[in-house]
Structure 1
């Protein structure tokens, strides 16, 4: 189940990134970031309502610790998305998405250090290969000419996404623990509650900020309803897949399998966005996929 959910999430995230890349040429970073959440809230609410109609369950209890995880994940995902959009503006779509996928490697390292995940020697080899791949993807004109700005933005986005994923999983597990005295809450319901909480807070933060500081960006999204809705729909479906999979399995394993996104990304980049991918960029994406396989193998 978690494998199927992860593949679904990776596929939809590839399309979300493609739409965000297109919108980033027309709208500011803050607006592109908001497009990810603005229509996702109602979709997430409808999804949660549907789950309870098909499988009635207990309502969860929310603790202060859960609120802390939700707030942390919400802020980190906003930061990560903003950094990724900046990547799209610096380099082409496929490379920007590839750099953001350093999240999987960072999540593996953080999982080992702070969340009790163990990696074998083969797993660590995968992590190293992934790090080399990120360096390769960060080159502007060959391996010897690295763009420090691109590296910093890519790794920063990956770190922020990794913290988002780790805290989302902790929030979902906390709902299961807090509800142990009642009937167990299904993983789908727990993931949906966390998703709705995170998206709701993110939308409130960004709409409030832009409403005060930059109403022109809100109007820019209003005048691009098709693209904005496409981003929100793809983002929400992807998040349903990610959040549900991470409720079942540890983040490093989910995110390393999620590296299959790089292949979807390359296909979209070449056949839909009509962008060329260089040889070293293809090699970097393939190495990231190899790193994912090695870490998953453990």
Structure 2
């Protein structure tokens, strides 16, 4: 059940990162906010890989052989990490765009469709086998997130109609996140290493590709973004750090367990967000939100024991 602990760690870190990115989006272009997630992350990922490879992976060896062996990276692995890197950039850009939408809550809820999408695509194309209980938990979690997403809109008496643009952006974000996670899991299972160490290599590759590729693209297309980021350098460094640590948890959890289960459990991020809003912002919790939170709790329990 170690995947559960990694997922919970990822949820807490991701909640903090989203809050920081949302604040930064008021001052920096969408591409810049997206880059802030990756810009300073590769050195942190490298440090984690070295610590894991030299100490954690070898902690059970009789001689305590602290050596780093460079594995071979087949073409399939390289293809998977490149696809994962590009799709995660796209997914993050869509999510940052949602920050600027009026009905952000609905869009963000649709982006959380990644658990259901991952379950369907994983079963059809990636050989994932999910139990009946697991499927029920995934569907229940999706319903719960949608209930929570439209709750505030209905509470104010406004129409719960979803703007087509927000619908498209939300679903695109969820689909890209789902494919990213599936490719990450496949890449982790490609290397002949312990899964947690494979996940660390995948993370380093993905972050390196993202930071390099997106930086070059911005330098060619809109270099002024770098000046925007420099004005908020402390926030950018903090976002990169929190994001990288969160990715360590996500990548490890997805290497150990089916993506759909990990993402369904990860929906408790919605619960955490509502709790923070209630105690820090004094937002009232509605009956609809209580129902949604209970459903998320049930869904999380079902996938943990599937």
TM-score interval, smaller chain = 0.7 to 0.9
Change (3 A) 1:297 1:22: same
Match status 1:44 vs 2:23 = no
Q: Distance in 2 between matches of 1:154 and 1:137?
A: 15
Q: TM-score, normalised by structure 2?
A: 0.84
Q: TM-score, normalised by structure 1?
A: 0.86
Task: Specify every segment of 5 or more residues in structure 2 that has no aligned partner in the other structure, as ranges.
Answer: 59-66
Q: 1:179 is matched with which residue? A: none
Which deviates the most, 260-269 or 212-221? 260-269
Q: Decide which of 125, 131, 136 is 1:125's aligned counterpart.
A: 136
Task: Specify every segment of 5 or more residues in structure 1 that has no aligned partner in the other structure, as ranges.
Answer: 177-184
Change (3 A) 1:192 1:80: same
Q: 1:84 is matched with which residue? A: 95
| 2:107–2:167 CA contact under 8 A, matched in 1 | no
The DSSP-based 3-state class of the residue aligned with 1:90 is coil
Change (3 A) 1:52 1:23: same
Match status 1:20 vs 2:21 = yes
Q: CA deviation at 1:264?
A: 2.2
Q: 1:206 is matched with which residue? A: 214
Q: CA deviation at 1:175?
A: 0.7
Q: 2:189 is matched with which residue? A: 173
| 2:50–2:68 CA contact under 8 A, matched in 1 | no
Match status 1:254 vs 2:253 = no
Q: CA deviation at 1:134?
A: 4.8
Q: Distance in 1 between matches of 2:22 and 2:162?
A: 22
Q: Distance in 1 between matches of 2:177 and 2:29?
A: 20
Q: CA deviation at 1:91?
A: 4.4
Q: 1:180 is matched with which residue? A: none
RMSD: 2.5
Change (3 A) 1:261 1:236: same
Q: 1:5 is matched with which residue? A: 6
Match status 1:105 vs 2:112 = no
Match status 1:189 vs 2:197 = yes
Q: CA deviation at 1:167?
A: 0.4
* Matched residue count: 289
Q: Distance in 1 between matches of 2:16 and 2:225?
A: 22
